[in-house]
Amino acid sequence: MALSAPADAVETIGVPYMAFPTNRMRRLRTNETMRRLVRETTVSPDDLVYPLFVRPGRLLKEPVASMAGCYHFSPDTIAHEAAEVAALGIPAVLLFGLPAKKDELGSETWAPDGVVQTAIHQIRDVCPDLLIITDVCLCAYTETGHCGFVKDGRIDNDRSCDLLAKMAVSHARAGADIVAPSDMMDGRIGVIRQALDADGFHETAIMSYAAKYASAFYGPFRDAAESSPTFGDRRTYQMDPANSDEAMREIALDVEEGADIVMVKPALCFLDVVYRARQQFDLPLAAYFVSGEYMMIHAAARAGLLDLDQAMMESLTALKRAGADILITYFAKDAAKRFR
C-alpha cells in the first residue's frame, strides 16, 4: 500500500516525509553505533596513497622543514618507510625525486641509476605487493624549475612531452606500477601511453594529474622538492583556479589519450571540481590533498585552534563524499593508523 503524503509533507526525490514531530532526524544520531550504521561515506586505508621524497645518499632520514612529519629519504631508508606504509594497509606510495644534479633537460629523470629508479628497485625488494606510483615531471630536475623544457624563456610543450615520455618509460623499466604526469603539458598522456606501449609496458597504468590548478597551496611542497620556478610562474600550463568547465575538458582529453586514473589537484578548494568530475566520468578519480592544505591543518592544530585528528578525518571524508576514490595525502599513515 502506497503511503500518501499529507498536504504539508516535505517532498524529496519522490519520497514523502512526515514533518516534525513525527520525524526526528536526531533519532539516528543518538550514539556512535547508530551513526556508524547510517554513515554514507567512510575512509579506509584502501583509499590512500602516501607521497614520499627521495634524494641521493645513504641512511638518510631528514625532516622536511616545511612539512610536519615528512622526511627526505635515501633509496635505502625509503624501502623501510615503504614497508611501514604497506604494513598499515596502504596500497600505494607516490615517489618524488630530488636529483643529484639539475641540468637543462632534466636528464636524471631517465637515468637507469637515477634516484627514483634506484628507490623503486629498493622498495620492490622489500615490498613486492606495494604499488609504486612515480611523479613524472621535470620541475625538480631542470635548472629552470619549470615542469616543461624551457627554450628562449618559453615552455616548449611538444619537446617537453618527449622528455616526459622518456622519464615515464624509465620509471616503468625500473618497475613502477603507475606513472603520474603532473606537468600539465598538452598531449602528454597520449605521448606517454604510446611510448610505454612501444617499450612493451602495456600494463603500466597512467594516473593523470588531469585538472591541476596553479595553486598557492603547493608552497611547502616546492620547498621540500626544491622545485620552485626560477622565473615566472606556472600559470601558462597549470589551470586558472577560476575555471571548472575547463577542468572537464582537461579530464576528457586525458581520458581520450589513455589515462587510467584521473586526478583533481588541489583538493579542499576544488571539491566542486571533484564532484563534477565524479558525475561526468566513470574512471577512478583521485584527489590530491596538497602540502599547503596539509600544513594549514597542522599549523592551526599547533596553534591550538583545532583538533588535528578530527580536522584530518573530516577533510578526507569530504573528499570521498565529493566523489574521490583515491586520496593522495601526507596524512595517509596517520589516517591508516586509526584503523589499527
Binding site for ligand PBG (CB under 6 A): 135, 137, 139, 147, 182, 218, 221-222, 227, 234, 290-291
Coil/strand/helix, residue 202: coil
Contact 52, 82 (CB under 8 A): yes
- Smallest distance from the beta carbon of 188 to ligand PBG, in angstroms? 12
How many CA atoms, within 13 angstroms, populate the side-chain half-sphere of residue 42?
Answer: 11
- Report the nearest approach of ligand PBG to the CB of residue 207 (Å): 12
CA nearest neighbour of 161 among 210, 116, 195: 195
Nearer to ligand PBG, 110 or 218 (CB): 218
Q: How far is the CB of 319 from ligand PBG (least distance, A)?
A: 14
Q: Considering beta carbons, is residue 201 or 330 the nearer one to ligand PBG?
A: 330
d(CA 76, CA 86): 16
Please state whether beta strands 15-17 and 10-12 pair in parallel, antiparallel, or not at all (unpaired).
Answer: antiparallel
Q: Which residues contact 69 (CB under 8 A, 6 or more apart)?
A: 298, 330, 334
Q: Are 139 and 227 in contact (CB under 8 A)?
A: yes
What is the 8-class DSSP label of residue 186? Answer: T
**Is residue 76 within 8 Å of residue 122, measured between CB atoms?**
yes
Q: Does 212 participate in catalysis according to the annotation?
A: yes
Contact 278, 319 (CB under 8 A): no
**Taking the complex as a whole, how short is the minimal distance between the CB of residue 304 and ligand PBG, in angstroms?**
25
Which residue is catalytic, options 151, 265, 333, 337? 265
Closest CB 222 distance from ligand PBG, rounded Å: 5
d(CA 141, CA 90): 28
Is residue 151 annotated as part of the catalytic site, yes or no? no
For ligand PBG, the closer CB: 159 or 222: 222
d(C-alpha 283, C-alpha 260), whole Å: 7
The smaller minimum CB distance to ligand PBG, of residues 177 and 183, is found at: 183
Closer residue to ligand PBG in complex, CB, 16/69: 69
Find all residues with CB under 8 Å of 289, minimum gap 6, and list them: 266, 267, 268, 315, 316, 319, 327, 328, 329, 330, 331
Q: How far apart are CA 93 and CA 315, in angstroms?
A: 20
Minimum CB distance to ligand PBG, residue 282 (Å): 25
The answer to whether the beta carbons of residues 257 and 228 sit under 8 Å apart is no
Residue placing its CB nearer to ligand PBG in the complex, 117 or 134: 134
Of 201 and 218, which has the nearer Cβ to ligand PBG? 218
Q: Closest separation between CB of residue 42 and ligand PBG, Å?
A: 24
Q: Are 324 and 271 in contact (CB under 8 A)?
A: no
Residue whose C-beta lies closest to ligand PBG: 221
CA distance 237 to 302: 35
Identified catalytic residue from 61, 101, 102, 212? 212
Catalytic residues, by residue number, are 212, 265
